[in-house]
């Protein structure tokens, strides 16, 4: 079901799904800057285009960053705003620095860094009968 990548790509980010139970990371999409425009390469382009090309928010000004209006700025901001434990975008890079060349799946143990993110602190909740249980 994976794509067979057939040529060089310029500046891009890889959108990666962590499959913790299977112990692997899979590239589900690649957002590429071509001639001042962004494109989404994926086995499911309609699904992933909708997910990854949603407008982002500038964390300082709170203004929208649109993929159509500011494609390079959008690409550079994507990794800081798409960084969940199960889906994340890599930092923008060229082909020679790509952690996922040729769209290969990577074992989580293989040394590909999972982006750091702050996890919310667990809070104890008091439930019926006075027992505490982590939530």
Q: Give pLDDT tens digits for 77-116.
A: 999 999 999 999 999 999 888 888 877 667 765 554 555 4
Taking only the tens place, the pLDDT of each residue in 39-78 is 999 999 999 999 999 999 998 999 999 999 999 999 999 9
Distances in Å between the Cα of 36 and the Cα atoms of 1, 9, 69, 122 are 29, 13, 10, 43
> Are 87 and 14 spatial neighbours (Cβ–Cβ below 8 Å)?
no
| CB distance 40 to 75 below 8 Å | no
pTM of the complete model beyond 0.75: no
Nearest to 14 by CA among 64, 87, 66: 87
- Given pLDDT bands bounded at 50, 70 and 90, which one contains residue 36? very high
Smallest CA-to-CA distance from 4 within 27, 34, 35 is with 27
* Chain centre distance of CA 81: 8
């Amino acid at each position: 079901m994976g794509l067979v990548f057939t040529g060089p790509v310029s500046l891009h980010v890889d959108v990666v799904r962590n499959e913790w139970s299977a112990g692997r990371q899979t590239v589900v999409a690649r957002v590429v800057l071509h001639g001042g425009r962004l494109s989404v390469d994926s086995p499911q382009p309609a699904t992933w285009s909708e997910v990854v090309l949603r407008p982002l928010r500038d964390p300082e000004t709170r203004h929208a960053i649109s993929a159509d209006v500011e494609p390079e700025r959008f690409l550079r901001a994507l990794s800081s705003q798409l960084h969940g434990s199960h889906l994340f975008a890599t930092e923008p890079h060229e082909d020679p620095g790509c952690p996922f060349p040729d769209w290969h799946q990577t074992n989580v143990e293989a040394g590909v860094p999972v982006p750091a993110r702050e996890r919310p602190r667990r809070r104890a909740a008091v439930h019926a009968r006075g027992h505490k249980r982590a939530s």
